[in-house]
Structure 1
Amino acid sequence: MDLLDKIDSLIKSDSNKLIIGITGAGGKTTTMIALGQYYRDKGNKVLLSTTTKVQSPRFYNFEVNHVFIDESEFFNHTPKNGESVLFVEKHIMNAKKAIAPRDEILSIITNNYDVVIFEADGARCLPCKIHSDRDPVITEDMNAIIAMVGLSSYGDMAANVVMGENSTQIVDIDYYQNLIDDERGLLKGINENHNAIIFFNQFDLIDDKVADSLKHLKTDYPIVVGSIEKNIMI
């Protein structure tokens, strides 16, 4: 079983619709794109979007069939099986970013799609994150959460690689355990309504012993250690 198959097996829902929120840091956009292609190739109607901000599709290739930044054009589009769509709105203040559709329509943009994947957090390109009061932005409709950590953070000073962190502590296995346990940490916003997993990405940047230790961290949620770019896991 490869990485994407494993993730799919863990987040599947009894519902007819899979609505995924990707939180944390360390490869959220890459994971959203990879999952979008995965579910599209299985014949699903797939929607990619955000509840926060993402790169603007003017400058970033989301590898979808259709891109919409206009609300009326999006709603006039009828998706087909085996098709993926990106719907975001223009960021007036920053041309390099796109923002979430307005709150009033977030719950209805999912209607015509089998799989919807939201990037639901922001980390300013850092591989790890401590959350503020306002994030992650998890909607009531989401039934699956992928909480991510980028392993490029391992061995560095927390203040350098963890958004929201000022500590000089070195990021190690104990730090990741604290990140799981902290109410502002990796699992913030996740509840019993979610099929949730913890995904440690970029495992090819650490040695095998450390990677194996990650799988034994204490949590109620499944832990996956892998590389989304290579679609492999340990």
Structure 2
Amino acid sequence: MRDSCTGSYDVKSKWVATAARLLSPFPAIVALVGGGGKTTLLYALGRYLHQSGKRVLLSTTTKMYPPEAGQASLWLGSEPPPGDSLYLWGRGISPEGKVEGLDAGLFSTLTNDYDVILVEADGSRGLPLKVWGQGEPVLPSGVTDIFCLASLQAFGKPVQDVLHRAELADEFFALPEQVDLELWNALRQYHERTLRQLVDYGVTIRLIDRGSPALWRKVCDESYSAYLWSEADGCFPQKSIRITGKKNKQRFEVSKAKRFSRRGDSKGKVTKQDISIVAVVLAAGRASRFGGGKLRASLAGRPLLAWTLRLVNSIPFSSRLVVTGADSDVEELAKKYGHTVVMNQDWQKGMGTSLATAIQALQSSGNEANIDGVLFFLGDMPLIRRKTVSYLLQQIRSTKPDIAYPTFRGKKGHPVYFHRQCFPALFSLAGDEGGRQLMAQFPDHLAVPVDDEGVLTDVDSQKALEAVRVRLNSQ
């Protein structure tokens, strides 16, 4: 079998058989999105299902090259092809020789004619990684399953050479020069958040990281927390998300996947984070000392709050909340960066109410039992480094304290972590109490010294904002 983003896979391989087993009950409409390898999987999975006696239709909502000999037959026009053979259906051929896709709204009307409809729903120009542009991906109506692909071959290579639409990535996460574990985690978290926002309940999202076991071992270490699909031994992706419940109150259930050897027997679990931590950004205050509108103030070309949102997006938290209040425009900014927004109706009473609002939101989500702790960020601290937060999380995972925080030259800073056993006390906070009063109640503290003055630097005035601008310009 092949480990590249292009080329053919053996239709009898365990890898393709595993992909078929992952599908929802028939009739299923499957969208393939993300990095290179979608077309390869489309044809291999289509042939496997067709040879298994299923009525299968292949198509696209964008454009793709016509099938080669042995992959499928080409069917063009407005009428759907018969289900007794394997066809790629398109409207016509574009001037550049590609099959023009169908209207996305058509697919939900075809489920009586086919058992499985496989749809390539975006393009990546053959690159292993992808950031979506406006209007992407173009998901088919009635979609039941989404396979979002990325190739481990991108590791260690220049980002600009392997990431399609890299120029858009800066809106969502920081870009290093080469693909590393932190970027990979940030990219896959971005994929998951974006797809969750696009689909209705009842849709299963699977993030598939393509690569051979040798490549997996080369790039994987204990800090890696994304999702594995091994082409050689038929691994499940480590994490799948099924969206259930009512549309106006979605719940996201995470199912652990099993890893199979070539013989199909259990062979241990893929390395994953040992605890689940939620990031909460506090952004509810009036900022009266600043003169109002602080979190929307421009700093080096982006809103002040965006610096914290981008930092949080670059780290693999289990979920992300932003607590808003005085400034209604902050909500739109937080949603732009893919964060769940919670409104603190009592923001005038102080920060304690924002902490309580965040805990109440987690309790109401129905997922509190799966959360080990919360890391609270302030929305006006733009200079905290990503490696500082990563190091803090490492220390939290190894020691599992009740409360943890970074220190710089002996002074306590932010962000601040609270274990789940602190939740009842946080929920009862009011006024300007904040979390400091919990220090005596929960004495198991972890102070983590860091070489990062950003953990102390907040912007509470116009003068402070100008000082931060000067520091950024000098770096």
State the TM-score, normalized to the length of structure 2: 0.41
Structure 1 gaps of 5+ residues are none
Greater Cα radius of gyration, structure 1 or 2:
2
| Counterpart in the other structure of 2:230 | 226
Q: Is the 8 A contact 1:148 1:186 kept in 2?
A: no
| Counterpart in the other structure of 1:51 | 61
Find out whether 1:7 has 2:14 as its counterpart. Answer: no
Q: How many Å apart are 1:140 and its aligned residue? A: 3.0
Q: Distance in 2 between matches of 1:117 and 1:202?
A: 22
Of residues 201-210 and 170-179 in structure 1, the stretch that sits farther from structure 2 once superposed is 201-210
| Counterpart in the other structure of 1:157 | 158
Note closer, same or farther for the CA distance 1:28–1:186 as it changes in structure 2 (3 Å cut).
Answer: farther
State the TM-score, normalized to the length of structure 1: 0.79
Q: Deviations over 1:89-144 (max 9, x none)?
A: 2233312x112123563433444110110001110111101111210111231100
| Counterpart in the other structure of 2:217 | 208
Q: 2:34 aligns with which of 24, 28, 42?
A: 24
Q: How many Å apart are 1:63 and its aligned residue? A: 1.3
Which protein is richer in helix relative to its size?
Answer: 2
Q: Is the 8 A contact 2:62 2:120 kept in 1?
A: yes
Q: Is the 8 A contact 2:34 2:129 kept in 1?
A: yes
Q: Distance in 2 between matches of 1:180 and 1:124?
A: 19
Q: 1:68 aligns with which of 64, 68, 75?
A: 75
| Counterpart in the other structure of 1:79 | 83
SS at match of 2:41: helix
Corresponding letter in the other structure for 1:46: V
Note closer, same or farther for the CA distance 1:54–1:42 as it changes in structure 2 (3 Å cut).
Answer: same
Corresponding letter in the other structure for 1:48: L
Q: Distance in 1 between matches of 2:193 and 2:212?
A: 20
Note closer, same or farther for the CA distance 1:70–1:213 as it changes in structure 2 (3 Å cut).
Answer: farther
Aligned residues: 214
Note closer, same or farther for the CA distance 1:49–1:160 as it changes in structure 2 (3 Å cut).
Answer: same
Q: Is the 8 A contact 1:211 1:225 kept in 2?
A: no
Find out whether 1:189 has 2:195 as its counterpart. Answer: yes
Tell me the C-alpha RMSD between the 2 structures. Answer: 2.6
Q: 1:176 aligns with which of 184, 207, 213?
A: 184
Q: Distance in 1 between matches of 2:104 and 2:147?
A: 22
Q: Is the 8 A contact 1:69 1:90 kept in 2?
A: yes
Note closer, same or farther for the CA distance 1:187–1:86 as it changes in structure 2 (3 Å cut).
Answer: farther
Q: Deviations over 1:47-83 (max 9, x none)?
A: 00001111134xx34612x3201224xx3x4322xx3
Q: Is the 8 A contact 1:129 1:186 kept in 2?
A: no
